[in-house]
């Protein structure tokens, strides 16, 4: 089921999400709804708080490249579901132009670690480890920030942030 996206500057985006304790039906429904919502909005990732649920859960689904015309480039089975993720290694740095379904239409360059290694639980409560030094690394760091109440625009320089806030206010008034 597609749920409503929480849009900046909604206060819920500042919440520090809670650890998931039960890997049950309720969690599975949440993850399924997160996928439906992400797809409906053409996103590549979503944290639970972005649909108003303060649980440490996120999903990522990076579109497949070079697939036959008409085939789904973000099949559900390709979705990375991360519960209670923790970064256990991080190094290097890289810049990437990021966007966020909670700040629609805004794309800004953000600096993050290049490589991360993360421990997390899958939807069945099995412990998993993943590492990456490419787009997935950026996406995981972006989504994990949401679990701690952080949005990517908070990483912008003072001037860029000011400019963003001004334009965002203007846009909200006219929409
Ligand atoms: Co985001």
Query: 140 and 85 in contact (C-beta within 8 Å)?
Result: yes
The CATH number of the domain covering residues in 11-174: 3.90.45.10
For ligand 1, a single-atom ion, the residues with CB < 5 A are: 100
Q: Phi then psi for 19, rounded to 5 degrees?
A: -60, 140
Which among 60, 43, 74, 77 is positioned nearest to 120, based on CA atoms?
A: 60
Ligand 1 centroid to Cα of residue 109, in Å, is 13
Residue pLDDT, tens place only, 61-104: 999 999 999 999 999 999 999 999 999 999 999 999 999 999 99
pLDDT at 149: 98
The pair of structure tokens assigned to 51 is 């649909």
pLDDT at 172: 79
Which among 82, 50, 57, 61 is positioned nearest to 150, based on CA atoms?
A: 50
pLDDT at 159 over 90: yes
pLDDT at 173: 81
Ligand 1 centroid to Cα of residue 37, in Å, is 13
Ligand 1 centroid to Cα of residue 139, in Å, is 9
Ligand 1 centroid to Cα of residue 110, in Å, is 12
pLDDT at 91: 98
Residue pLDDT, tens place only, 105-157: 999 999 999 999 999 999 999 999 999 999 999 999 999 999 999 999 999 99
The pair of structure tokens assigned to 55 is 């649980």
Residue pLDDT, tens place only, 9-52: 999 999 999 999 999 999 999 999 999 999 999 999 999 999 99
pTM: 0.96
Distance, in Å, from the CA atom of 35 to the CA atom of 152, rounded to the nearest integer, reads 21
pLDDT at 27: 98
Residues that are catalytic:
143
- In sign, the C-alpha dihedral spanning 26, 2, 101, 167 is negative
Q: Phi then psi for 59, rounded to 5 degrees?
A: -130, 150
Ligand 1 centroid to Cα of residue 151, in Å, is 6
Give residue 29's region: left, alpha or beta (phi > 0; psi -120 to 50): alpha
Which among 157, 153, 115 is positioned nearest to 137, based on CA atoms?
A: 115
């Amino acid at each position: 089921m597609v749920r409503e996206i929480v849009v900046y500057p909604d206060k819920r985006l500042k919440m520090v999400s809670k650890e998931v304790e039960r890997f049950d039906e309720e969690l599975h429904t949440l993850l399924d709804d997160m996928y439906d919502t992400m797809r409906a909005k053409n996103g590549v990732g979503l944290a639970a708080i972005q649909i108003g649920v303060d649980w440490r859960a996120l999903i990522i689904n990076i579109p497949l490249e070079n697939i036959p015309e008409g085939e789904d480039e973000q099949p559900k089975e390709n979705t990375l579901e991360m519960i209670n993720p923790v970064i256990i290694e991080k190094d290097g740095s890289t810049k990437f132009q990021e966007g966020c379904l909670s700040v629609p239409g805004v794309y800004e360059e953000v600096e993050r670690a290049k490589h991360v290694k993360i421990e997390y639980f899958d939807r069945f409560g099995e412990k998993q480890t993943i590492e990456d030094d490419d787009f997935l690394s950026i996406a995981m760091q972006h989504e994990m920030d949401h679990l701690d109440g952080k949005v990517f625009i908070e990483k912008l320089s003072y001037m860029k942030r000011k400019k963003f806030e001004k334009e965002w206010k203007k846009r909200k008034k006219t929409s």
